[in-house]
Structure 1
Amino acid sequence: MKGFLWENSARKKVSSCGLRVQCCLRCLPAAKPLPNLFLLHLLLFSISALFSTQRCRTMIKLFKVKEKQREQAENASGGPPVKKQSAGELRLHKDISELNLPTSCVIRFPNGKDDLMNFEVSIQPDDGYYMGGTFLFTFQVSPIYPHEAPKVKCKTKVYHPNIDLEGNVCLNILREDWKPVLNINTVIYGLYHLFTEPNYEDPLNHEAAAVLRENPKLFESNVRRAMAGGYVGQTFFTRCM
């Protein structure tokens, strides 16, 4: 083709630490020599490619050295070693900072601010069978949270189809329906919903579930008796009103 050089190609391969740079020059005007500035840029790029991998490795080593020096300086100051937060702690801190709970739900940290992974939530339903009662739950959060659901126990003995007498809670999002996109706010609302809408179809306390299904009036009477402090059948319940 007149005026163009179709096969004037310069291929240069530079290999270092598995890195390869290829430059192919095509369709350059035949009448003009290759610009010196372009050749200079090409040369500089090739040289920088030779050392890029080694430079990255050096930077990583420097970061590690600086981190170690920082830890040694903190330890030498006489204070306790700084504990690094796990991914679960960081996510939990975010969840807690974004809590949006009704006034009937209160969260507490009995071990202080240094132990966010273990906390308590008290729920005071303002509707339904359990209105007027106060129910305490403990949360134990795993270091791999949110990839594992928090472990929740009810510390208040309650006459409830979905909570057994040992405090185990039957809530689907704490079991098979848990997903990492869920959070502590979701769990607390789920617990609150158990008190406003108890479910006899998925029970832990089968006796309470049967009464709720067959005789809701008797179920309501049993709940009030248990919350006031007294016996329901052979089981004694401590007052929680």
Structure 2
Amino acid sequence: MTRRVLITGGASGIGLGLARRFAAEGDRVALCDADADAVARMGDALRGAIAAVADVTDEAQMAAFLDRVESEWGGVDVVCANAGTGGPAGRIEDLDYADWQACIGVNLNGAFLTCRWAARLMRAQESGCIILTSSTSGQWGHPYRSPYASAKWGLVGLTKTLAMELGPAGVRVNAVCPGAVEGERMDRVVAMEAAASGRPEADVREQYVRGVSMRTWVTVDDLADTFLFLASPAASKMSGQIIAVDGHTETNAP
């Protein structure tokens, strides 16, 4: 059965991997991203996909994207509220309020706008699956990254609550908590945390590996495997679950 899959932040990083994997399964894909160049590349790569430039913190832009999807598809089967940003790094007393708001805006408010729309459609059709991208920082906390950790903990609360609200309508809601994911984004995060803590980048990178039982980083494909499972009939009785894909985080302490 061909599914209708919507992915926010779907033109880069984890979202890009999800879009490619769902499309490879034969599913119809709609994605949005704030990066216009990345969206153009995805539109060329995934023929037949809906690919739109939209900032998940902008209610008008999201309404335009979501209205288009609803108009063309008439419903949605899988929603991946994936858009996120690493936010600033530093001691809380040194952080700027605007940077805090921007991080909360992308990670948590963007998920709200996406899930609000999905809930309305899925409740009416009495089926559907919502998967939110949280983080192991939303399970453990993360020194020097209080805005990011707070937003990701917020997504855990949103997941649990929506699973309770939508379960009677046959809608499942789960969250995936990635650990340190290989790629350009984590390269930037490592550099930012090194600057904030005054440590060499090599030490920060080693901390991520040392703090995981399996002593490894996560790949985008590792995460896509879990998203595809959660969206499948094999996970038909899984809802309200917070699933870490991280090699087992032992600590995020510096």
Structure showing greater relative contact order (alpha-carbon pairs closer than 8 Å, 6 or more residues apart): 2
Structure (1/2) with the larger helix percentage? 2
Q: TM-score, normalised by structure 1?
A: 0.23
- TM-score normalized by the length of structure 2: 0.22
